[in-house]
Amino acid sequence: MIFSEQNHPNQVKKGRIEVICGSMFSGKTEELIRRLKRAKFAKQRVEIFKPQIDNRHSEDEVVSHDLTSIRSTSIESSGSILLMSTDVDVVGIDEAQFFDDGLVEVCKRLANNGIRVIVAGLDMDFRCTPFGPMPALMAIADDVYKVHAICVRCGSLAYVSHRLVADEKQVLIGEMEEYEPICRECYNEVMK
């Protein structure tokens, strides 16, 4: 048998932070679910969390736009994640942009305790402004994976989730009726 870092018998459990980011309709949640299902298949103990504010599809599941789903726990604040993450190998967090800034410290503590943390969220809001704790999470992450939707106006890679309804609140939970993924050029054209 060949020993490598991956299968060494004295290997210490190593924590890490993985961030999946991008615009709406880019496949962030789908990628999160894929990674978490693989961890479960590998018989790892997995806990998944999402913010209570996001109840579009289900109260007790993370659901992607293509309706792939995985069981989750809805929580009000990031501090609850630490309380509910004992005896786990992997923690998944969806819609991270809706959590408080304490999520950054929570993720660091989990990773420092040997837990793999996989976070998915919007990197920018509809104004192209960094969104919630996502910029800080990307800065401390071991790995950042940016996914892209396709611009519904020209077919290029999408850059932002353009809001279609007149509402200036930063947080507006929505779907295709409220948002469309568009590229930088189309966004600049729309904003003229």
Catalytic residues: 95
Q: In sequence order, which residues have a C-beta less than 8 Å from that of residue 170 and are 6 or more positions away?
A: 125, 127, 129, 131
3-state helix/strand/coil string of the chain: CCCCCCCCCCCCCCCEEEEEEECCCCCHHHHHHHHHHHHHHCCCCEEEEEECCCCCCCCCEEECCCCCEEECEEECCCHHHHHCCCCCCEEEECCHHHCCCCHHHHHHHHHHCCCEEEEEEECECCCCCECCCHHHHHHHCCEEEEECCECCCCCCECCEEEECCCCCCCCCCCCCCCEEEECHHHHHHHHC
What is the end-to-end Cα distance of the chain in Å, rounded?
64
